Structures are given as structure tokens and as C-alpha cells.
Structure 1
Amino acid sequence: MNIYLLRHGETEENAKKSYYGGLDVGISEKGIRQCINVKKHIEGINFDRVYLSESKRAYQSAEIVLSDSKNYIVDSRINELSFGEFEGKSYEDIKRLYPKEEKKWRECWKSFSPPGGESYVELYGRVESFMKGIETIEEDNILVVTHGGIIRAVYTYILGGNLELFWKFSCKNCDIALIKYEYGNWFIDSIIHGGI
């Protein structure tokens, strides 16, 4: 089984380097160009299923990248990390406005939850549940249009679930990764920087 992981096109919040997992923003003009560019990497692939997060940016990216309309499966387990009160703020803003919380975040990033948000451990739990569900499906090609944090968590899952590996991967807007599940084994086949 082939699973294609596509990170959505760039947004204005990406360009501003904001933390914004839960803000429902659309893609920018640059994000549109990235999606048009990445389309050539998946043209001709017949996707049996297309999964999207609940975000506008994932939906818009899927609409541009896919040649024909699909029956999307929207799944909240592949929503980006919720940053709670940190949403829409830069790291400098967070350090200034939430100095105690920022210190805790640095010291224990895996289990720390921003006020009103969730931890990376919680995010990983969602992704693990999603991936275990995918393992039960018998399809040839699946497209998952989602977010950088989710894709890093998928790589972490494939490599055994050690969250220390989470930051060992790059994941740019409109990157497309091909992962495969064969004979009960996951592996990363390729990662393409599809955006411009």
C-alpha cells in the first residue's frame, strides 16, 4: 500500500512564523503556486482514498492538487497540534507574554501543553490511532493532506514511536512523502520538496 503525505501549501501564518495549529486560515498566493507545482508529482495516480484534516488550508490544497473531485474523508486525528493561547503568536511573542510557560515548554517539550492547547504526546496519540487504522485498509494508493506536525509524527511512528526523533525531519509546505506498508512493515520510500 502506498500512502502519500502532503503538507498543505504555505499560509500567511507560515510566512510570519506563527504558531497556529488551530487557526483555520487559507493558503496564500505562494501556497497556491506550491500546490500547482506539486500537482505534477502525483498526476496519473489513482487515489482510492483521500484523507484531509479539518482545516481550510488542507481542503484548499487538495482541491488544487487533485485533478478531479474526490470524496474526501475528513479526520480530526490528523489536525495540526493545538497551541491554545499560543495560537497566532511568534516564538518571541510567547517568550515575552508567557515566560514561565515558555521555560517549561523548552525543558519538557514532549509533555508540555500550552494553556488551552495540547502536548506533543497527545498529538502523537492521535497519529498513532490514525496509522493503526490505515494498517487495516486494503487499498493501493492513499493521499493524506495534512500538516507538518502530523507528518513528523507519522515518521516517528514508522521509526518505532520514539518522540525524540520528531525534530529529526524537515517538513516544508507542499512536501510530499511516499510511505509504504508491506508485509506488516512501514517504511519511508521518498520525500520530495514539492513547493517552490
Structure 2
Amino acid sequence: MKSKNIYIIRHGETDFNKQKRVQGRGVDSDLNALGRQQAALFFEAYKNVPFEKVYTSSLKRTMQSVQGFIEMGLPFEKLSGFDEISWGSHEGLPYDELRHELYLAGLAEWGKGNLEHRVGGGDTPIEVCERQRLAMDQVLAGEEENVLIATHGRAMRIQLCWMMGLPLSRSEDFPHANLCLYQLRYSDGKYEIVKNADVSHLSDLKVMPGE
């Protein structure tokens, strides 16, 4: 199989991120003004990388994060396998201390290896991993050498775990921020991280009013 340079980004900021509202697979939110600025800065920094194809989740915040590349005419494809984890009944709800404690308890369960645990009755890490592997099979089957994937925070952590051959209980090992980049090299069936949660392209970010 041909080697590939794989660039994986988390989407830009949404109002749900800003307000600390629960945002999962069932919430199809838009980027806010800061998120659009983050997307524009990433585009300026990486527009000369010879990407041959762009992949996004089925959610519009990922497509909006790579809009500049799509407008360049690059082929792009939506793959629901790259969707965010579902947080079940918690999705769309505002920040609440009790709900946050349940979230943290869920992360602790995953960290202990209880990967069947569901936060709010949503997805398990195993289910997210299974659909990501199917999506990556499609990416790897393509002839493109340089690809860009726009995904989500928790999904990104899970994906990087299995890509690096780590148990899914180690997902907290991979930090993320809105519009951060993980750059990987795929060769001989193995992935290598080249850039780790990089946000240097956001150095000119202007803080928006109210931030």
C-alpha cells in the first residue's frame, strides 16, 4: 500500500464549545466567528501543501473548518465514520456540575479499561473505533499521498490511540484544541506522528469580543 501523509485536524470553535455545552454526534452546530478565523488561519498556513483529497465527518462544523480547501476545488468526501462520539442524553445541554461529574466518571471508567461504559447512554469508545477503522480503510485505499481529515475532539483522541497501537484506555494521552493539527506519516502499515496537537498556525489569532 502506498505511503501517505495524513493531516488530522479538530474543527474550529463553535458556540457550544464557547459555552461549554455538550456537543456530540447528535449536535450539528456551526463554527462561530472565532472558529471561522481559526479555519482561515489554518488554510493560510497549509494552502500550499499538495493535498489531493479532503475528508470530513458528516457534521457541518468539520466541513466549515476546511471550506478554503474545498473552494480551491480539492475533491472532498464526507465519512460518518469520522463523526464525534455520541454523548447520548447529555447532548445539547448546558454546563452542569453534576453532568460534568458524570462525564469525568465516564472518562475514569474508560481509563480503567471499561470501554463498554456509555456516558449518557451514548457511544462507547469501541464503537467509535470500529467506525473510524472502516473510514480509514477508505482513506488508505485511495491513491492520494497527501490527505486532510477534519474530525472532532474525543473522536480524534480515540483515533490516535488505535493508530499508534495503544489501548483505547489511553485516549487522554492525546491533547487537543480547536483547530489543532496532528500530522502523521503512514508507511508499511504503521503510523508515525510528525506534529503533535500543533497550533502554531493560530499564532495570529485575534481574540474576539467577549472572549
TM-score (norm 1): 0.87
Q: Deviations over 1:49-94 (max 9, x none)?
A: 1111011111111113555133321100000001111002325252
Q: Once superposed, which parts of structure 1, at least 4 consecutive aligned residues long, lie more than 4 Å away?
A: 101-104
TM-score (norm 2): 0.81
1:189 aligns with 2:194: yes
Instruction: Please show how residues 55-70 of structure 1 align to structure 2 within 5 Å.
Output: 55-64=59-68, 68-70=72-74
Instruction: Please show how residues 107-118 of structure 1 align to structure 2 within 5 Å.
Output: 108-109=109-110, 110-118=115-123
Percent of counterpart pairs with the same letter?
A: 27
Q: What is the letter of the counterpart of residue 171 of structure 1?
A: H
Distance in 2, matches of 1:132 and 1:180, equals 15
User: For residue 180 of structure 1, what is the aligned residue in structure 2?
Assistant: 185
Q: How many pairs are equivalent?
A: 192
Distance in 2, matches of 1:63 and 1:107, equals 36
Inter-CA distance 67–107: structure 2 relative to 1 (3 Å threshold): closer
User: For residue 53 of structure 1, what is the aligned residue in structure 2?
Assistant: 57
Tell me if the contact between 1:156 and 1:165 (Cα under 8 Å) persists in the aligned partners.
yes
1:165 aligns with 2:170: yes
Distance in 2, matches of 1:182 and 1:148, equals 25
User: For residue 75 of structure 2, what is the aligned residue in structure 1?
Assistant: 71
Pick one of 8, 15, 27 that aligns with 1:5: 8
Tell me if the contact between 1:35 and 1:65 (Cα under 8 Å) persists in the aligned partners.
no
Q: 1:28, CA displacement in angstroms?
A: 0.6
User: For residue 135 of structure 2, what is the aligned residue in structure 1?
Assistant: 130
Distance in 2, matches of 1:116 and 1:165, equals 21
User: For residue 81 of structure 1, what is the aligned residue in structure 2?
Assistant: 85
Q: What is the letter of the counterpart of residue 80 of structure 1?
A: E
Inter-CA distance 133–94: structure 2 relative to 1 (3 Å threshold): same
User: Which secondary structure state, in structure 2, belongs to the residue aligned with residue 160 of structure 1?
Assistant: coil
Query: Which moves more between the two structures, 180-189 or 73-82?
Result: 180-189
Distance in 1, matches of 2:87 and 2:50, equals 35
Query: Which moves more between the two structures, 181-190 or 86-95?
Result: 86-95
